[in-house]
Amino acid sequence: MRGRRTLKIRNIAATAAFGLLAACTSMVPQPGATQPAPLAVKQALASISGEISEANLRGYIEKMVSFGTRHTLSDQTSDVRGIGAARRWVESEFRKMGAACGGCLEVMTVQDTITSPPRVPSPTVIANAVAILRGTTDPNRVIIIQGHLDSRVTDPLDFTSDAPGANDDASGVAAVMESARVLSKRKFGATLVFAALSGEEQGLHGGRILAAYAKAQGWDVLAVLNNDIVGNTHGLAATVDNRIRIFSEGVRSNEEETIAAARRSVGGEVDAPARNLARYMDVIADQHMTGFDVSLVYRRDRFGRGGDQVPMVEAGFPAVRVTEAAENYTRQHQDLRNENGIAYGDVIDGVDFQYLAQVTRLNAMTMAALASAPRPPLEVKIDGAVSADTKVSWTASPGAASYVVWWRETTSPVWQHSVVVPGSETSTTLKNVVIDDWFFGVQAVSADGYASPVQFAGVVGAFFPPPPK
Ligand SMILES: [Zn+2]
């Protein structure tokens, strides 16, 4: 969000990968006390970024398009055409990546049989291709990247016509696969899940099936990066836009009445965990990428539309939608045809691979940073009514070497001020910061400088449900 920041905010920009300097352990709040990402973090993320290959992304999409249609209701038995062949090919690629890392990836099909008229008129197997890279120290904390493999044309029930779906959403699946290839060469504390979903165009079924699977596994899902339509830069009005939009909800989709009551009382309408995940990605782009910028959109999805992040947030998981900034509607959900000089259809010529590579880099670096950082503090609380100061306290996060306490004006879209607190502390008092006038949050930072997302104070912003009392 570089371009829209004021000078004041830029000077004290949030840090997603952050180093604690020995000199910065003072307990006196110092607005802007954060440091740039340490060199080791910059180098580790740059090496991931550098391995993302445009040629691979093109190869994946060419192969997906070669299956003719990947409609959810298409043939599932053919080896050359239809959604079944496409899904088995993704799984075979995941297995190749797993073989290259000594069996580090668990590859599986996560599926269910769905009947859901009108778009799924008869019982249909909806099968997701999933690869899991288990975390080394905190394997139950899970970061998911997903895109949808299924495609469609004008009639949502037409499962025989060619539906290349090069951008919607072979681009998202390609980002998933290339992230899997690069990240599976490394080890992370938390678990990474790579998923190519089906049934999206017929009613978000694959996302719902994966969400149910995550619940059944008891995963603590920290983040879901839903990549859907991430490969085009040329909009309808001859505009070119190289930014990536990240859509996030401000109020939890699964908000319970007790949490809603707290939110109405003390605020938090723009601080669901998904929103702070989106801000985290914005900071990753600002700190670790050049010539590529995030546009934060404070909505759960584009106006009146949906995607596979929706079943995830409905299940209580922080999930964002990652989508290009300049959509081209002559290519989405269209029969392949020429009409009045306009070529309709989602063909591979509409994919900008340089751009898709940048989107993939942002995803892969975000996953690596999240999986290398400690968990966000479990509970963040604030006290200080009718006082000149605000006390911020939190539950210790395993592996945290320090914390960053953030505050911002209630009208500011991004975090503004911060103070560093040593890892031995679980509270700090912000002198002359009146609790009424600011929003507060805390992030946990590892010894090597990886930071969790900022967690907004209170249950409204909790990434994970609070422990039973
Ligand atoms: Zn889509």
| Domain spanning 44-372, CATH architecture | 3-Layer(aba) Sandwich (3.40)
- Residue 237 — pLDDT band, cuts 50, 70, 90? confident
Element (H, E) at 138: strand 138-148
Torsion angle defined by CA atoms of residues 356, 357, 362 and 366, in that order, rounded to the nearest 10 degrees: 110
Share above pLDDT 70 across residues of the chain, in percent, rounded to a whole number: 92
Ligand 1 mean position to 149 CA, how many Å?
9
Lowest-pLDDT range of 79-83, 299-303, 327-331:
327-331
Distances (CA, A) of 48 to 7, 52, 292: 30, 7, 16
Q: How far is the CA of 98 from the centre of ligand 1 (A)?
A: 27
Both tokens assigned to 347: 């063909």
Q: What number does CATH give the domain 2-36+376-461?
A: 2.60.40.10
The predicted-structure confidence for 140-154, as pLDDT tens digits, reads as follows 999 999 999 999 999
Q: Give me ligand 1 centre to Cα 324, in Å.
A: 11
Band of residue 431 on the pLDDT scale cut at 50, 70, 90: very high
Peptide bond into 453 cis (omega under 30): no
The length of the chain in residues reads 469
> Can you tell me the mean pLDDT for 402-422?
96
Measured in Å, residue 229 CA sits from the centre of ligand 1 at 6
pLDDT for 2: 54
> Pick from 14, 50, 93: which is nearest to 360 by CA?
50
Q: How remote is the CA of residue 22 from the centroid of ligand 1, in Å?
A: 47
Question: Can you say whether residue 13 is alpha, beta or left, with left for phi > 0 and alpha for psi between -120 and 50 degrees?
Answer: beta
- Average confidence (pLDDT) over 46-65: 98
The domain locations on the chain are 2-36+376-461, 44-372
> Distance between CA 196 and CA 346 in Å, rounded?
18
DSSP state of 3: G
Question: Residue 408 — very low, low, confident or very high, per pLDDT cuts 50/70/90?
Answer: very high
173-206: b (≥16 Cβ within 10 Å) or e: bbbbbbbbbbbbebebbbbbbbbbbbbbbbbbbb
Q: Read out DSSP for 154-172? A: SSTT--SS-B--TTTTHHH
Least confident of 52-66, 190-204, 320-334: 320-334
Give the mean pLDDT of the chain.
Answer: 92
The domains spanning 2-36+376-461 and 44-372 adopt the same CATH topology: no
Mention every residue, 6+ apart, whose C-beta is less than 8 A from residue 290: none
Q: How far apart are CA 286 and CA 2, in angstroms?
A: 7
**pLDDT over threshold 80, residue 320:** yes
Sheet containing 120-133, strands listed edge to edge, beginning at the edge strand earlier in sequence = 105-116, 120-133, 190-197, 138-148, 220-227, 319-324, 244-247, 294-297
pLDDT tens-digit series, residues 353-362: 999 999 999 9
pLDDT tens digit sequence for 90-141: 999 999 999 999 999 999 999 999 999 999 999 999 999 999 999 999 999 9
Query: From ligand 1's centre to the CA of 171, what distance in Å?
Result: 10
Work out the percent of the chain whose per-residue pLDDT is above 90.
87
* Cβ count near 401 (within 10 Å): 17
From the CA of 125, how far away is ligand 1's center (Å)? 19
Residue 63 — φ and ψ, nearest 5°? -65, -45
User: How far, in Å, from the CA of 165 to the mean position of ligand 1?
Assistant: 9
Encode 405-463 in three state secondary structure: EEEEECCCCCCCEEEEEECCCCEEEECCCCHHHEEEEEEEECCCCEECCCEECCHHHCC
Q: Which of 35-39, 152-156, 202-206, 233-237 has the lowest mean pLDDT?
A: 35-39
Is the distance from CB of 362 to CB of 284 less than 8 angstroms?
A: yes
For residue range 173-192, list pLDDT tens digits in order: 999 999 999 999 999 999 99
Ligand 1 centroid to Cα of residue 310, in Å, is 12
Q: What confidence tier does 465 reach under pLDDT thresholds 50, 70, 90? A: confident
Collapsing DSSP to helix, strand or coil, 346 comes out as coil
pLDDT score for 1: 63
Residue 35's pLDDT band (cuts 50, 70, 90) = low
- DSSP per residue, 258-297: HHHHHHHHH--TT--HHHHHHHHHHHHHHHH-SS--EEEE
